[in-house]
């Protein structure tokens, strides 16, 4: 029997393993030198000034919101076509979340819909403090236009680039923060490069970087410039200044992430080869392959296909079940976040973002990852054809 083919998985080399073993034999399993080395590597790669490594992208989103001052009474807007973490981060801070429907071609937050929604919010006095565009599947949002809107309406921008390290927008690597205040990455094993678990926030802003660094480690600082004056006959080698968290990344995780960064471009090139093969193999099958915006070079974290329901009789649900039964472990990215019971309990209703709902009813993420072989890819395509016809 053939092994199951997942929609995504990690690619671990002997060098990666050795890098982790080296940390295990060293003096520091955490708070050692490998975390700053990983931070520097990611900052250099994406041409950002500061990088703050944390234990997940979810933690990065949380401290990014806090660093930008998100709190009770504020509004944070994101895409409905994302993982729940992109919205939950605002809820952790006590803010209200709202969703901007997607563009039916890129599946990213629609700039036109954002623009209309902002004009309305201005009249109602409910403008967002922060907008979180999500670079879905690794393809950049239209950041130039979103940045222009942020200048007109005065909101801050966090790019959720959990899918998108190694991708590019116009002339820049994603993460360069030319059009945003902060960009965050994820190093979960299904993402482009992995640290086992892990995340990072990058920024050019020194004040934001300092706040995020403090928040990731209990809100504590040992910099005398941050500390309040205290009696000189007591020892004050640190002070807690904010209510922070333990969101630190360990050196064990950082070693894996740092080692993986060496192959990042190779991983993305391989994903492009797989995507190109799918694009050709799925011509004339009643399937829409992911359209690529000319301004974007995707990292192809996902390869979502959509069934053209006027051409295909099989239901979305039966298509999904038939493939999983054949051990092609396709997945759904994403159920619109506001349809989750937690968000429906806050008052969101089905029908709120029709483009995201139509996409969800047709979409399926099929296997794409750097170790997927041509033989396995052919297997995926022939199983899909068999199920459809
Ligand atoms: C995976 C993911 C996250 C969360 O990443 P973790 O590192 O697992 O916390 C956030 N946003 C998006 C879009 C994701 O896909």
For residue 194, what are its two tokens?
């992995």
Question: 0.95 cut: is pTM over it?
Answer: yes
Could you tell me which residues are beta bridge partners of residue 5?
328
- φ/ψ of residue 163, rounded to 5: -95, -10
Q: Give me Rg for the CA atoms of the chain.
A: 22
Measured from the CB, is residue 58 less than 6 Å from ligand 1? yes
- Ranges of the chain with pLDDT below 50: none
Topology of domain 5-261 in CATH is: 3.40.640
Testing ligand 1's pocket by substitution, the residue of 57, 89, 134, 139 carrying the most ligand atoms inside 8 A of its CB is 57
Class in CATH terms, 264-388: alpha beta
Q: Round to whole Å and give the CA distance between 18 and 154.
A: 47
* Rounded-to-integer distance, Cα 164 and Cα 175, Å: 9
Whose Cα sits closest to atom 10 in ligand 1?
Answer: 85
- pLDDT of res. 130: 98
Cβ distance 204 to 175 under 8 Å?
no
Q: How far is the CA of 76 from the centre of ligand 1 (A)?
A: 17
pLDDT of residue 314: 87
Reported as a single tens digit per residue, the pLDDT across 130-173 is: 999 999 999 999 999 999 999 999 999 999 999 999 999 999 99
Cβ atoms 202, 65 nearer than 8 A: no
Q: Which ligand 1 atom is at minimum distance from the Cα of 301?
A: 15
Q: Are 259 and 19 in contact (CB under 8 A)?
A: yes
Best CA proximity match to 55, nearest among 214, 224, 200: 200
- So what's the pLDDT on residue 75? 98
> Which atom of ligand 1 is least distant from the CA of 197?
7
Counting beta carbons within 10 angstroms of the beta carbon of residue 359, is it exposed (0 to 12), middle (13 to 18) or buried (19 or more)?
buried
Six-digit token pair at 185?
């990455």
How far, in Å, CA of 24 to CA of 32, rounded?
Answer: 12
Domain boundaries, the chain: 5-261, 264-388
Task: Report whether residue 163 contacts ligand 1, using a CB cutoff of 6 Å.
Answer: yes
Residues 306 and 288: beta-carbon distance below 8 Å: yes
Tens digits of per-residue pLDDT, 270-322? 999 999 999 999 988 889 999 999 999 999 999 999 999 888 888 999 999 99
Cβ atoms of 77 and 132 within 8 Å: the answer is yes
């Amino acid at each position: 029997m053939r092994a199951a083919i997942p929609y995504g998985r990690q690619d671990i080399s002997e060098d990666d393993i050795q890098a982790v073993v080296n940390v295990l034999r060293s003096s520091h399993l955490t708070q050692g030198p490998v975390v700053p080395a990983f931070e520097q590597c990611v900052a250099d790669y994406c041409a950002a000034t500061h990088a703050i490594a944390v234990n997940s992208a979810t933690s990065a989103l949380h401290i990014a919101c806090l660093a930008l001052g998100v709190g009770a009474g504020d509004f944070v807007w994101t895409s409905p076509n994302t993982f729940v973490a992109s919205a939950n981060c605002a809820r952790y801070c006590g803010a209200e979340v709202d969703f901007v429907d997607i563009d039916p071609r890129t599946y990213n937050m629609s700039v036109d819909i954002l623009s209309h929604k902002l004009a309305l919010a201005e009249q109602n006095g409910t403008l967002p403090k922060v907008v979180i565009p999500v670079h879905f599947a690794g393809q950049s949002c239209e950041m130039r236009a979103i940045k222009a809107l942020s200048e007109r309406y005065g909101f801050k921008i966090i790019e959720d680039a959990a899918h998108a390290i190694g991708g590019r927008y116009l002339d820049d690597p994603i993460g360069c923060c030319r059009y945003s205040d902060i960009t965050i990455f994820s190093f979960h094993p299904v993402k482009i490069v992995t640290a086992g678990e892990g995340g990072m926030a990058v920024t050019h802003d020194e004040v934001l970087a300092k706040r995020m660094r403090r928040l990731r480690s209990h809100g504590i600082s040992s910099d005398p410039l941050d500390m309040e004056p205290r009696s000189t006959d007591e020892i004050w080698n640190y002070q807690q200044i904010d209510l922070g968290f333990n969101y630190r990344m360990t050196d064990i995780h950082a070693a894996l992430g740092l080692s993986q960064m060496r192959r990042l471009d190779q991983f993305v090139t391989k994903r492009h080869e797989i995507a190109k093969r799918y694009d050709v193999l799925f011509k004339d099958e009643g399937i829409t392959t992911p359209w690529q915006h000319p301004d974007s070079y995707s990292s192809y974290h996902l390869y979502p296909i959509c069934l053209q329901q006027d051409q295909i009789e099989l239901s979305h649900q039966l298509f999904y079940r038939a493939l999983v039964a054949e051990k092609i472990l396709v997945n759904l990215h994403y159920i619109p976040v506001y349809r989750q019971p937690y968000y429906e309990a806050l008052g969101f209703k089905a029908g709120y973002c029709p483009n995201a709902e139509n996409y969800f009813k047709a979409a399926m993420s099929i296997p794409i990852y750097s170790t997927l072989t041509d033989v396995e890819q052919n297997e995926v395509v022939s199983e899909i054809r068999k199920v459809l016809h």
